Structure 1
Amino acid sequence: MNLEHERSMDQKIFWLNAAFLAERYAYELRADPDWSIKGFTSAVKRDFGMEPSEQQIYRARQKATKLNKEDFVDQFHKLHDYCEELKKGNPGSTILLKTEMDGKNKRFHRLYICLEACKRGFKEGWRPVIGMDGAFIKGPHPGQLLAAVGIDGKNRMFPIAYAVVEIENKDMWEWFIQNLIVDLGIENGQI
């Protein structure tokens, strides 16, 4: 009796197809959209011990890209619900979402979030110093993350507010800072 079983070529092809690979590696392709065919192939070989064809890899990349784009669109539609849940779960928080109409579709413009606990914590006990910075958001929908942080008694960062904007420019920074001034009750540079 032979206890070792080898899959036939048909069985390998049946489950190792472009749809399976797209679903399995969608996250990796989202993180690195320029992932080479050689790198993708070696990952499949490492994980499953089989080498897919270049055509399978090409189709899998196309399907994964489509899956990732659909996921971003789906997440955008949930953004209003997310803001409402934040307001419900954090009374007194400031959440401002601005979208613009692009034909018949809504298009994201900017989002500002300052949670009540962060506002109160900064006002009641942290050093009156605010640091601000911007960072790139990469991916199919690039943008900028603007953040304001305070410093606690042990010189650790304390988040105050953040915003996601399409582009970092003077107008966006003014909008962010004006909202922060209102939230913290800053008058003439004093809290």
Structure 2
Amino acid sequence: MPKVMSPCRVGVQNRNMNNIPNDVDATYEDDVQYSSSEDDSDFEDSDYDLANEDDDLFMDNVDDQVVDQGVAIGRKSFKHEDLINLVFKVGMIFESVELLRKSITEYSLKHRVDIKMPRNEKKRLRAICEKGCPWNLYASDDRRAHGMMIKTFCGEHNCHKKWVLKRCTSNWLADKYLESFRADKKMTLGNFARIVQKEWNLTPARTKLARARRIAMKKVMGDEAEQYKLLWDYVQELRRTNPGSTLYLNLNALAIVEVESLAPWKWFLETLKANLGIKNTYPWTLMTDKQKGLIPACSKVFPEAEHRFYVRHLYNNFQQHFKGENLKIQLWKCARSTTMDQWNRNMDKMRALNQKAYEWLEKMAPNTWLRAFFSTYSKCDILLNNSCEVFNNYILDAREMPILSMLEHIKGQLMSRYYNKEKDVGEVWQGPICPKIRKKV
């Protein structure tokens, strides 16, 4: 007789016994007892039975060396972190076509092969190597995997390595070295080129490196145009967090100007005058350089104030016409003259050194650069404005940033400087007089 598969015992036990006639109850029970006998050679245990000792049937028919190319539940997709050790395989899933493109670019540059994408669509992508090379890859969107899946792949190359790779673009360089530029915002193109050559053995053109640095710095500092859109919100936040501060913002003038001219200088001085509550300008002294528009702006806004020039800027103009260490030393002696007699003697020495240099200085108003002619109302006889010069150099890097990044950078620098100086004053100073003046007194 042919062997008969026994029904599942669990199903028998769960059957509703109320539906079975009374006259067959005994017979049915006998059948159940008979079918449960393990010694009956006419029956063979089912592979679908839940009885014990069936695991051998499963293990004997499973090849653990075969990788299922279908979509497995819980299968891990390819992540950005996997770009470090990139190996393509059939069935590999990418979250997006952009990540797949980026992976192919990394592969191309790492293995120095010229990979092209003749079909590069949103849901389908085919990549091939040069003509005659068997390497190819095809991936398409898989709804079950919710991503791009590699359907076919051949990883064999018979082509030669390339020295110039088109996939080494400025965008790729910017994305690759974004954190490097974030850590070193002053990285020069020369250092950038050396790093790329060392790590990738590539020598991109200087123009490509410059574009890459510009793209990376734009990501680090923020988009300049977008930051201008946030100016109103930024000013409002400063007013909220810094009560008592004076902030001006309008569409026609800014304290941050591209060109120094009469209009912005006049606006700045008027704003400064109003902010300080200055009514009488006579007691005030202004010290400036000779920037375009600054002198007439000072005359209009502070008509009665004393106006002095930095002697350092005066010398910079002087040395363009008259060079030499002796003339430089004599000019500073003239500027430091504290009496009329001393000034006359120093000017005579200047004339002896160079008649034309003497005539050039004579054209300068003496009360703008000579101590002997300074007003005694102001108890300050400095010839330099080192505080402004130091501050200008202090914010030199910030001046190249977009506007909001620049303001935040300067604010952070000033807060750190004020804190450190206040700390120094508390530790070094004894009383209200600074140590240098205390020594002189």
- TM-score, L = length of structure 2: 0.22
- Larger RCO (CA under 8 A, 6+ residues apart): 1
Q: Output the TM-score relative to the length of structure 1.
A: 0.46
The structure number with the bigger radius of gyration is 2
- The structure where strand makes up a greater share of residues is 1
